[in-house]
Structure 1
Amino acid sequence: MKKLFVPFLLLFVLILSACGHNETANTNNASETKTETFTYQSETGPIEVPTDPQRIIALSNGPNVLALDGNIVGIDQWTNMNPLFQEKLEGVEVVSEETLEKIIELEPDLIIAGSEMKNIAKLNEIAPTVVYTWGKLDYLTQQIEIGKLLNEEDEAKEWVNDFKERAESAGEAIRAKIGEDTTVSVIENGTKEFYVFGNNYARGTEILYQAMELKMPEKVREMALKSGIYTLSSEVLPEYAGDYIILSKNLDGDNSFLETDTWKNIPAVKNGRVFEINTKAYTYSDPITLEYLLEFFEKSFLNN
Structure 2
Amino acid sequence: MPRRSVRAFAATVAATALLLAGCSSEDSGTRSFTADNGTFEIPAQPERIVAIGRAVPSLPTTDAPLVGVVEYSEMVGITEEQEKTYEDLQKVGSGAELDYEKIASLEPDVIISGIPLRNFTKVDEDRLQSIAPTLSLGPLTPYEWKDLGEQQTDAAGVSGIFDDQKAEYEDRAAEIREEYKDKIDGVNFAAVEQADQGANGFTRQYTGGWITNIPEDVGLNFPGEGADTENNGATFTEALSSEKIPDLRDVDAIMYRAEADGSPVAGLEELLSQSAFQNLPAVEEGRILAVNGLWAETYAGALICLDSLEEALKNLPN
TM-score by length of 1: 0.75
- C-alpha distance in 2 between matches for 1:254 and 1:185: 15
TM-superposition CA deviations, 1:234-290 (whole Å, max 9, x none): 111231463222213674437233322111112222222323346xx6434211221
The one-letter code matched in structure 1 to 2:295 is T
- C-alpha distance in 1 between matches for 2:45 and 2:291: 36
The reply to whether residue 148 of structure 1 matches residue 159 of structure 2 is no
Q: Give the structure 1 partner of residue 34 of structure 2.
A: 41
The reply to whether residue 105 of structure 1 matches residue 105 of structure 2 is yes
The reply to whether residue 246 of structure 1 matches residue 255 of structure 2 is yes
The reply to whether residue 94 of structure 1 matches residue 91 of structure 2 is yes
- C-alpha distance in 1 between matches for 2:77 and 2:49: 19
1:36/1:133 Cα in 2 relative to 1: closer, same or farther (>3 Å)? same
Q: CA RMSD in A?
A: 2.9
The reply to whether residue 272 of structure 1 matches residue 290 of structure 2 is no
- C-alpha distance in 2 between matches for 1:246 and 1:126: 45
Q: Which runs of 5+ in 2 are unaligned?
A: 1-27, 259-263
- C-alpha distance in 1 between matches for 2:145 and 2:280: 31
Q: Which runs of 5+ in 1 are unaligned?
A: 1-34
Select 2:304's aligned residue among 272, 292, 295.
Answer: 292
Q: Give the structure 2 partner of residue 255 of structure 1.
A: 269
TM-score by length of 2: 0.72
Give the conservation status (yes or no) of the 8 Å contact 1:73–1:92.
yes
Structure 1 SS opposite 2:180? helix
Higher-Rg structure is: 1
- C-alpha distance in 1 between matches for 2:92 and 2:246: 41
The one-letter code matched in structure 2 to 1:188 is E
1:188/1:254 Cα in 2 relative to 1: closer, same or farther (>3 Å)? closer
Superposition pairs for residues 183-194 of structure 1, below 5 Å? 183-190=188-195, 191=198, 192-194=200-202
Select 1:232's aligned residue among 240, 254, 260.
Answer: 240
Structure 2 SS opposite 1:160? helix
Count of aligned pairs between the two proteins: 263
Q: Give the structure 1 partner of residue 45 of structure 2.
A: 52
- C-alpha distance in 2 between matches for 1:133 and 1:82: 16
Q: Quick one: percent identity of the two aligned structures? A: 22
1:295/1:88 Cα in 2 relative to 1: closer, same or farther (>3 Å)? farther
Select 2:56's aligned residue among 62, 82, 85.
Answer: 62
Give the conservation status (yes or no) of the 8 Å contact 1:189–1:248.
no
